[in-house]
Chains A and B, each alone.
Chain A
Amino acid sequence: MQYQSSAFRTWHRWLGIIVGVQMVIWAISGAYMVIIQLPFIHGEHLTQDADGDIRDASLVTRLPAVLDRYPQAIQVQLVNRLIDGEPRDLAQLHSDTGKFLVDVNTLAPVELTANDIEALAAAYYAKGEPNIKGVKYIEEAPPSELNERFLPIWQVNFDDFGRTSLYLHPQTGEMTVRRHDFWRGFDIMWMLHIMDYKDRVDITTWWLRAFIFATFAFLFTGTVLLLQTLWASRRKPA
Chain B
Amino acid sequence: MKFLQWLHRWTGLILLIQLVLWTVSGLYFALVDHHGMKGHQYFNMQQPEALNRAQLANLSPSWWDDLSGVTKVQSYTTQGLPRVEVHHQDGVRYLDGRDGSQWQTSQDFAQHIAQASYSGPGTLTRVTPIERTRELHNWRGQGFRIDFDDDLNTRVYVDRTSGTVIDHRNTPWVVADWMFRLHFIDYTGGRNFNNLVAIAFAVMTLWFALSGFILLVKLLNSGEMRFTLRRAALTANVGEQQFKFTDKAHKTVLQVLQQNDIAVESGCGGGGTCGFCAVKAAPDTPITVSDRAELSESQLNEGYRLACQHSIETLHKVEVPETEARKYSLQLKESRFITPMLRELRFVVTEGEVSYAAGQYMQFLIPAGAGQSRPSDIPERFATEWHAIAATNFKHDAVRRSYSMATAAGGDELVFTVRYQPQTAGAPAPGVGSAYLCNLKPGETLIAEGPFGDFQRLEGAERKLCFIGGGAGMAPLRALIQEELKSHQPRPMQFFYGARNRGELLYTDEFVELDNANKLRFTPVLSEPRQACQWGDAEGFVHEIAQAWLEQQNVSEYDFYICGPPRMLAATLAMLKALNVDSTRVRYDDFGN
Same assembly: yes
**Interface positions of B from 1 to 46, Cβ below 8 Å from A:** 9, 12-13, 16, 19-20, 23, 26-27, 29-31, 33-34
- CB nearest to B36 among chain A residues: A204
Say yes or no for A222: interface residue by CB 8 A criterion: yes
In angstroms, Cα B50 to Cα A59, docked, is: 21
Say yes or no for A141: interface residue by CB 8 A criterion: no
Known contacts A24-B213, A74-B76, A80-B71; is-contact A34 B269 (Cβ 8 Å):
no
B269 touches A8 (CB 8 A): yes
In angstroms, Cα B509 to Cα A75, docked, is: 118
Q: Chain A nearest CB: distance from B302 CB in Å?
A: 19
Annotate A63-84 by CB proximity to B: 1 below 8 A, 0 otherwise. Answer: 1101110000111111110000
Say yes or no for A61: interface residue by CB 8 A criterion: yes
Say yes or no for A27: interface residue by CB 8 A criterion: yes
B12 touches A232 (CB 8 A): no
B398 touches A238 (CB 8 A): yes
B74 touches A208 (CB 8 A): no
B74 touches A77 (CB 8 A): yes
Which B residues are in CB contact (< 8 Å) with A9?
Answer: 269-271
Q: Which of A127-135, A143-151, A157-165, A213-221 contacts B (4 or more CB under 8 A)?
A: A213-221
Say yes or no for A114: interface residue by CB 8 A criterion: no
Known contacts A4-B258, A13-B219; is-contact A31 B202 (Cβ 8 Å):
yes
Q: Kindly name the residue among A4, A16, A67, A238 whose own CB sees the greatest number of chain B CB atoms within 10 A.
A: A238
Q: Which of A50-58, A105-113, A115-123, A177-185 contacts B (4 or more CB under 8 A)?
A: A50-58
Annotate B238-279 by CB proximity to A: 1 below 8 A, 0 otherwise. Answer: 000000000000001011001000011111111101100100
Q: Chain A nearest CB: distance from B29 CB in Å?
A: 6
In angstroms, Cα B51 to Cα A26, docked, is: 50
Q: Kindly name the residue among A27, A49, A51 whose own CB sees the greatest number of chain B CB atoms within 10 A.
A: A27
Known contacts A16-B216, A31-B202; is-contact A73 B51 (Cβ 8 Å):
yes
A27 touches B266 (CB 8 A): no
A37 touches B212 (CB 8 A): no
Annotate B191-208 by CB proximity to A: 1 below 8 A, 0 otherwise. Answer: 011100011001101101
B30 touches A209 (CB 8 A): yes
Known contacts A74-B48, A219-B20; is-contact A27 B205 (Cβ 8 Å):
yes
In angstroms, Cα B216 to Cα A14, docked, is: 9
Q: Chain A nearest CB: distance from B143 CB in Å?
A: 23
Known contacts A80-B71, A230-B9; is-contact A34 B194 (Cβ 8 Å):
yes
Known contacts A60-B60, A96-B48; is-contact A3 B269 (Cβ 8 Å):
yes
Q: Which of B62-70, B353-361, B537-545 contacts A (4 or more CB under 8 A)?
A: B62-70
Which B residues are in CB contact (< 8 Å) with A228?
Answer: 268-269
- CB nearest to A50 among chain B residues: B71
In angstroms, Cα B562 to Cα A20, docked, is: 53
In angstroms, Cα B210 to Cα A27, docked, is: 9
- CB nearest to A40 among chain B residues: B194
Say yes or no for B312: interface residue by CB 8 A criterion: no
Contact of B206 among A3, A27, A75 (CB under 8 A): A27
Q: Chain B nearest CB: distance from A133 CB in Å?
A: 29
Say yes or no for B325: interface residue by CB 8 A criterion: no
Say yes or no for B383: interface residue by CB 8 A criterion: no
Known contacts A8-B269, A60-B59, A212-B27; is-contact A226 B72 (Cβ 8 Å):
no
B48 touches A75 (CB 8 A): yes
- CB nearest to A25 among chain B residues: B209
Q: Chain B nearest CB: distance from A8 CB in Å?
A: 7
Known contacts A13-B216, A16-B216, A20-B216; is-contact A37 B73 (Cβ 8 Å):
no
A76 touches B51 (CB 8 A): yes
Say yes or no for B75: interface residue by CB 8 A criterion: yes
Which B residues are in CB contact (< 8 Å) with A213?
Answer: 27
In angstroms, Cα B203 to Cα A205, docked, is: 27
Say yes or no for A176: interface residue by CB 8 A criterion: no
Which A residues are in CB contact (< 8 Å) with B198?
Answer: 34
Which A residues are in CB contact (< 8 Å) with B73?
Answer: 54, 57, 60, 77-78
B265 touches A237 (CB 8 A): no
Say yes or no for A188: interface residue by CB 8 A criterion: no
Say yes or no for A48: interface residue by CB 8 A criterion: no
A64 touches B53 (CB 8 A): yes
Which A residues are in CB contact (< 8 Å) with B219?
Answer: 13
Say yes or no for A198: interface residue by CB 8 A criterion: no
Which A residues are in CB contact (< 8 Å) with B33?
Answer: 203-204
A204 touches B30 (CB 8 A): yes
Known contacts A21-B213, A222-B12; is-contact A57 B70 (Cβ 8 Å):
yes
Known contacts A3-B266, A203-B29, A226-B12; is-contact A232 B274 (Cβ 8 Å):
yes
- CB nearest to A235 among chain B residues: B267
Q: List 13 A-B contacts (CB under 8 A).
A: A2-B263, A5-B254, A5-B308, A16-B212, A20-B209, A28-B209, A49-B71, A54-B71, A57-B61, A57-B70, A203-B34, A229-B269, A233-B274
Q: Which residues of A contact B (CB under 8 A)?
A: 1-6, 8-10, 13-14, 16-17, 20-21, 23-24, 26-28, 30-31, 33-38, 49, 51-54, 57-58, 60-61, 63-64, 66-68, 73-80, 96, 203-205, 208-209, 212-213, 215-216, 219, 222-223, 225-226, 228-230, 232-233, 235-238
8 additional contacts, CB 8 Å, given A203-B29, A229-B267? A3-B268, A20-B212, A28-B209, A31-B203, A38-B192, A57-B61, A64-B56, A67-B53
Chain A to chain B: the 6 pairs with minimum beta-carbon distance, closest first = A232-B267, A6-B270, A57-B61, A27-B209, A5-B270, A74-B48
